[in-house]
Every structure is written in C-alpha cells, then in structure tokens.
Amino acid sequence: MKEFLLILCLLLTVTFLPAQSAIYSSASAHHPIVAQDGMVATQHHLATDVGVAILEAGGNAIDAAVGVGFALAVVLPRAGNLGGGGFMLVHEAASSTTTAINYREKAPAAAHRNMYLDAKGEVDSQSFNSSYLSVGVPGTVAGLLHALDKYGTMTVDQVIAPAILLAENGFAITHDLASLLSKYKERLSQTPASSALFYPNGTAPEVHDVLVQKDLAWSLKQIAKRGHKGFYEGPLAKKLAADMKANGGIITRKDLKKYRVSETPVVSGNYRGYEIASMPPPSSGGVHLIQILNILEAYDIHSTGHNSAETIHLMVEAMRRAYADRSEHLGDPAFWDVPVEGLTSKDYAAALGTSIDLAKASLSDDIKPGQPGDYESEETTHFSVVDKWGNAVSNTYTLNFSFGTGLVAAGTGILLNNEMGDFSAKPGVANAYGLIGGEANAVQAGKQPLSSMTPTIVLKDGQPILVTGSPGGSRIITTVLQIIMNVIDHEMNIAEASHASRIHHQWYPDKLYHEKYFNVDTKKLLMEKGHQLEQRAAMGSTQSIHLSKGLLFGASDPRRPDASTRGL
C-alpha cells in the first residue's frame, strides 16, 4: 500500500500530455485532446489528475472513476460529494455490455406526502429546499463502492487514498471556488460546522489559500477502512444521524443502514444507426433524450444545419412535447408505473411529430402530456472515463443546489444534499427549476425523487463511440441532446460539439432559452415563428470522450473554470 501511495503521489505531480497524433483539421478553430491509452474528463483538474494517475498505475476505467468521484468530493464542494447521490453507466469491453447503477438519494422513512406544505396548504420553500428536512438519504458512497466492488480491480483504500491526501493536506483554492465561497457565504455559515470549514477566520478565503478539510479526511478514512459500513454504519453514521436529530432532520441510523444501490439495464434507443444507452427512471434523462431524438429522426437535421432557425424550431417542438410527458409519466418506478417502452417508441414519436407545424411555434398551453400506452441545481457535476481496454464510465452525481443545503454535518466535513426538493411537494406546482411534476413524483417514504441527470454512452456496432453527460438541472437532457446531435448530425469533433452555443425549452415556462452569443438573424426568424426567446446563463458543463479510429478525443466544457481532460 505504501509503495502504491508513493507511485500515486509521484504521478499526481506529473503533467500528462496527450498522445501525439497527425489528426488535425485546419477547418476548425476547436481541437480536442487526443490520446490512445486512456482518458479522463472531469470538472476539476485535480480530480482529472487522480483519475489519470490511477490509470497509469494499472487501474481500469471503473477504478479511475471511483477515485475521481471521491476526489471531487474534496476539490469541488459545490457538486462533488459524499452526501448526495447520482447515476453511473458502466460499459464492460470484455462482454460488450452496458449497465446502469442507480445510487440516487431516497426519502427517509419518516417522510410523507404533505411534509412541505404550510397551514394554508402552500409549499414552504425553506423547509423544501434549504433545511435538514431537505436532505435525502445519501447514495454516493454506496454507488461508488458498488461499482468498484463489481467492476473495478483495485481496493477501496487504493482509489480513495488521493482524496484523503487532498482533504488532509489541503489544496489551493482557485478563482472559481474563491468566488463561490464569497457568493454563498451567508448560506454556508448557517451552522458552526460549515462556517468553521469554509470561513475559519470569519471571512471568505482568497485565491491560492489552502483549503484543509480534516473532518472530511476522517470520514474518507472511515470508508477506506470499512467500505460501505464505514459510511452507513458505525461512527460516521452515528455522527450523521446525531446531527440530523439535533437540527430537526428526519434521517436516522436505520435509514442509513437500509440504503441499497440498484443496478438495472440501461434505457436504450437508436438514432440514425447509433445505439443510445442512457439512464432509466428514476432519472427522466434517458427516456426523454431518446424520445426527443426519435421525434427529430424524421427530419434531415444535417441539411437544415447547426443552430439554424429551422433546426432549432424542430428541436424546441420536440423538447416541448417530451417535457410535457415528463410532468405526467415520470417518477420512481418502484412506486409508479412508468411507461418507458411507450415513451421511447418510434411509433409514439411519429404520432407526436404529426402535431408539429414547421412554420409556427406551438403554444405550451396547447400541449398536454401524451398517452404513450403500450408503445435537475444546476450544480451537478459529470465525469467520463475510458481506459486502454475499452471499458467506459459515464457518471453524473449531485448535491442538487450549489453546495446542496449549505449544511455540513458536524464532525464529518460532509455537505448535505437538498435532493428532497426534486420531489413534487405539491403536484402541479413547479419546483426550483420551473419543472412541473404530478402524482408520479409525490413525496413518499423510501422513494427516490425524479432527476434529469443523463449520463450517456453512444455505441456503434456494440462499441462505445461517445461517452458524455452534464450538470445543468432541467437543462441536462437538452445539453446532452445537443452534444449527440452535434457529433452525429453535424459531424463536429468533440471540442466543436462541446463549445457550440446551446438552447433549451422545457414546456413551461413557455420560453426558448438561449446562451449569450446567439445569432441575431436566427433570433428574428424564430420570433417570426412565434417563439418567445430569453437569454440565460451558459448551459451545462459537459465532460466528453469521443472514440474514433483507434484514438480517444476528449473535451471539457469551457463553460466552467477548472475543468480538465487528460489522456495517456
């Protein structure tokens, strides 16, 4: 173990350069990282270093992904986490199979349908989004360890060692993290534990200050020593439950002990000859990604062109119909009969397509959830890993809002999620992302809230050609959609696909959201069709790897600072 740690520490000090390649196009101003023996794309360069170092040390993609997941819990506190949950896709090269690991948070046993309604029957947004009652039973540690145990080759203490070093010794605060800690100071100072962690001198830290997280290092050591039980039972679980009880939370030691990961087949579709493998419910991401692609497949998107008014009009109309269905049909399949087969059916997509007018925008008031019959804060984070054997991991996990609740469980260094806010506190009332939900996503003990997280692997002839995903709340689905369309329909390299301007529509509010740099003439043509446009902040933070001609091409989204893609 000591020899492994020494090798790992040395590797983390090396700047890994991409493999040299003659592939270069003078037609493009955007160029991906190129490699051939492995690649890691994450939202923080230190986590990328950890993943690359594990690959260098002989680990596979799953080993590296788990190491990245634990490292991000240290260096990306806004979204990386031990106290949240998420979804992972694993592609095994040896068997050519892709599977989905669901480690989404769960409602505690004491949760009930009307727990967030006040005396007037209205939603109390404070308890719903920003209190100890907002916290779902965390699944991240269980999910990462399940993946490692079943698909990895290294031990828990090996892959978690870099995260422990980063927490115990500290790391230099970047401009982005310094800005966020200043911005969220009030919310991150609600409890002595969170205030002491991020503002030990009473003021926001500055760039290049070192963030040391001794309590988080202790928690990571509990996991390294005892695995699953190190988090869900024993001293750490006792501290989490005690902190809950002391602050009006309802998660108990029994809730923690009962938490289990589930592994299911991916939801899959076919788009222009490519297999789309994505996350099934309780994520809505895969179902509606495939539904939108099915609708668009009827049109010659390549000919209408990237981000033309005609192409965007078609995309918006497909998005509008999919998000309407999301409000009615999607929820935790353990509690609700989700018509996955119907929603992802080509025939159902064709039926929806008949209502699209090529010359005029639909009104969302006129679009209702369909009848398929038999046929997420935006401060999530995604990472993608591919190894030299062809194994691949696409992982998206989150605390929900930036820094989750902003509450740190005393003595643990662990930020707590506010994922209960992804339920429909009151069916028919929009959540913090403007998404409307119904009975399918009502609060219920043991239930998992609906999510938009969309980790995705695109395959051709059973082999991965694209590994991607993104944060972005309700915009995750449409962000991943545009990466896939950019690669398949518009034949972009992965850097071009990642850098291109994005749009979003989610049924309600009836707005076509677009990023800052959006063609003025295109805007005019879309408004003439009846679309209501509104500029929004940059959408998503994709971490993508494109596999082609025996090489790996990677790109981290430029929309978020500190992100990094590196290859071997």
**pLDDT tens-digit series, residues 276-322:** 999 999 999 999 999 999 999 999 999 999 999 999 999 999 999 99
Report whether pLDDT(225) > 60.
yes
Which pLDDT score, from 0 to 100, does residue 5 have? 54
Both 352 and 459 in a single domain? Answer: yes
Number of domains in the chain: 2
Both 148 and 227 in a single domain? Answer: yes
Residue 424 lies in a domain: no
Which pLDDT score, from 0 to 100, does residue 273 have? 98
Report whether pLDDT(370) > 80.
no
Residue 201: domain span: 36-106+135-263+382-413
Report whether pLDDT(404) > 80.
yes
Look at 69-83, 334-348, 432-446 and tell me which has the smallest mean pLDDT.
432-446
Task: Please state, in angstroms and rounded to a whole number, the distance separating the CA atoms of residues 280 and 287.
Answer: 6
Whole-number average pLDDT of the chain = 93
In this structure, are residues 480 and 539 in contact, taking their beta carbons and an 8 Å threshold? Answer: no
What average pLDDT does range 147-160 have in this prediction?
98
Catalytic residue among 48, 191, 380, 412: 380
Report whether pLDDT(373) > 80.
no
Query: Over pLDDT 70: what percentage of the chain?
Result: 93
Which pLDDT score, from 0 to 100, does residue 367 have? 87
Residue 429 lies in a domain: no
Question: Does the annotation count 468 as an active-site position?
Answer: no
Burial (CB count <10 Å: 0-12, 13-18, 19+), residue 64: buried
First to last CA, the chain: 24
How many CB atoms sit inside 10 A of residue 308's CB?
17
Report whether pLDDT(59) > 90.
yes
Report whether pLDDT(14) > 60.
no
Both 278 and 194 in a single domain? Answer: no
Q: What is the DSSP letter of 114?
A: T
Place 16 in a pLDDT band, splitting at 50, 70 and 90.
very low
Report whether pLDDT(230) > 90.
yes
Residue 126 lies in a domain: no
Both 256 and 278 in a single domain? Answer: no
Report whether pLDDT(248) > 50.
yes
Report whether pLDDT(43) > 90.
yes
Both 216 and 257 in a single domain? Answer: yes
What average pLDDT does range 413-434 have in this prediction?
83
| pLDDT tens per residue across span 169-207 | 999 999 999 999 999 999 999 999 999 999 999 999 999
In this structure, are residues 563 and 556 in contact, taking their beta carbons and an 8 Å threshold? Answer: yes
Which pLDDT score, from 0 to 100, does residue 69 have? 98
Report whether pLDDT(9) > 60.
no
Q: For residue 366, what is the domain's CATH number?
A: 3.60.20.40
Query: Over pLDDT 90: what percentage of the chain?
Result: 88
